[in-house]
Amino acid sequence: MTTLKDISAIILAGGRGTRMGGVDKGMQLFNGTPLALHALRRLRMQTGAPVGEVMINANRSLGDYAAFGAAVWPDAQADYAGPLAGFLSGLEHCKTPLLLTLPCDSPLFPLDLAQRLAQALEREGAQIAMVAAPEEDGSLRAQPVFCLLRRELLPSLMRFTAEGGRKIDKWTAQHKTVLVPFDAPGDDPKAFFNANTLDELRSLESD
């Protein structure tokens, strides 16, 4: 049985922040705390026990991120290669069997995120567990930046990115993936909302 101590996590803060005007998104404040630090603290509050090691994927402000007390790993690829580059950095430095990936800009992610993904991964014998979150119309939509990955997928991801692949769903489609719904009674419908603009970030602060 997988425990949370078998899980490392990487916070994805390596993007350009284009829709926020080019700012370093992980350093933007959410209720007075930088988004990446807020995510780090929330990961350490996960249900049952804290996730083991938490890393941050960033491509600028490296010293500022390191001050949060987590290992900081930039993309191995140049030119802001997207979330998969962050996945790759995480898997390359992961020392546990499982790696949890999540973006820095969804500050309301659930406190039982790791636990529920791990349970589904074990139950289905899958290689990847991916969040499926509710849309406004009630349908469920995959959230591919919220994944629990087996560390053994590193060679596959290295090959995929070396061949120029950047789309998360095209890579995950190559492996047994279980979609994990987060639409149970009591689940926050905004748990996986990502703030692409500063106005969207401000609107989340009251939730």
pLDDT band at 4 (very low <50, low <70, confident <90, very high): low
Q: 204-207: long-range contacts (C-beta < 8 A, 24 or more apart)?
A: 204/30, 204/107, 204/108, 205/30, 205/31, 207/108
Domain range annotation of the chain: 4-204
Q: Choose the most confident range, by mean pLDDT, from 13-17, 90-94, 200-204.
A: 90-94
Query: In this predicted structure, what is the pLDDT of residue 22?
Result: 72
Query: In this predicted structure, what is the pLDDT of residue 140?
Result: 95
Mapped onto helix, strand or coil, the DSSP state of residue 98 is: strand
Cβ atoms 166, 82 nearer than 8 A: yes
> Minimal CA–CA distance to 56: which of 30, 74, 29?
74
- CATH tag for 4-204 (out of 3.40.190.10, 3.90.550.10, 1.10.10.10, 3.30.1490.20): 3.90.550.10
Query: In this predicted structure, what is the pLDDT of residue 51?
Result: 87
Would you say residue 1 has pLDDT above 70? no
CB-based contacts of 140: which residues, under 8 Å, 6+ apart?
132, 133, 134, 179, 181, 183
To 5 degrees, how large is the angle CA 92–CA 98–CA 104?
75
pLDDT band at 99 (very low <50, low <70, confident <90, very high): very high
Mean pLDDT of 103-108: 96
Query: In this predicted structure, what is the pLDDT of residue 18?
Result: 63
Mean pLDDT of 190-205: 90
To 5 degrees, how large is the angle CA 175–CA 129–CA 179?
95
Would you say residue 79 has pLDDT above 80? no
> Rounded to whole angstroms, how far apart are CA atoms 43 and 20?
24
Q: What is the 8-class DSSP label of residue 166? A: -
**Could you read off the pLDDT of 135-185 as tens digits, one per residue?**
888 889 999 999 999 999 999 999 999 999 999 999 999 999 999 999 999
pLDDT band at 87 (very low <50, low <70, confident <90, very high): very high
